Amino acid sequence: MSNYSKEYLKALEESYVNLVRPSSLIEYFKDDVEFKEWAELGSILDLRACLRAFEKDEQFHHCAIIKEVLTSKMAPVKLG
């Protein structure tokens, strides 16, 4: 059992949710280039989940960047 109160844990959870909310998250990037570089670190599964979260938060400009990165990661690799 936890030694923390329910109120403390609830406040901690709310702080985390606010931190990872797309509208809050985008404030940490200086521009679209930096945001795209961050997105490129994610896997295809990461990007799909990220896209859903950004769509839900109506961050459509950033959705376009995520889709661009996702499309490039899904493109077949050309050999030779």
Per-residue pLDDT at 47:
96
- The DSSP secondary structure of 45-71, one letter per residue, reads HHHHHHHHHHHHTT-HHHHHHHHHHHH
The series of mean pLDDT values per 10 residues for the chain, 80 residues long, is: 84 82 93 98 95 96 98 86
pTM score, whole prediction: 0.78
